[in-house]
Amino acid sequence: QGKEVYYSLDDEHISRIYKMALEHLCEEK
């Protein structure tokens, strides 16, 4: 159960970082 909760939180965290990374790449290019 603990792992499932951790994964759900990780997904949201990763998606946020992924968006920020994409925006950063777009700004550089």
Main-chain dihedrals φ then ψ at residue 28, nearest 5 degrees? -65, -40
Of 26, 22, 24, 15, which is closest to residue 7 (Cα–Cα)?
Answer: 15
pLDDT, one tens digit per residue, over 5-20 is 555 567 788 889 889 9
> What distance in Å separates the CA atoms of residue 25 and residue 29, rounded to the nearest whole number?
6
What pLDDT, on a 0 to 100 scale, did the predictor assign at position 20?
92
Band of pLDDT at residue 23, cut at 50, 70 and 90: very high
pLDDT of 28 above 60: yes
Greater confidence (2 vs 21) lies with 21
Torsion of CA 11, 12, 18, 19, to 10 degrees: 150
Whole-angstrom distance between the N-terminal and C-terminal Cα of the chain? 42
Give the predicted TM-score (pTM) of the model. Answer: 0.48
Tokens of 1: 């159960």
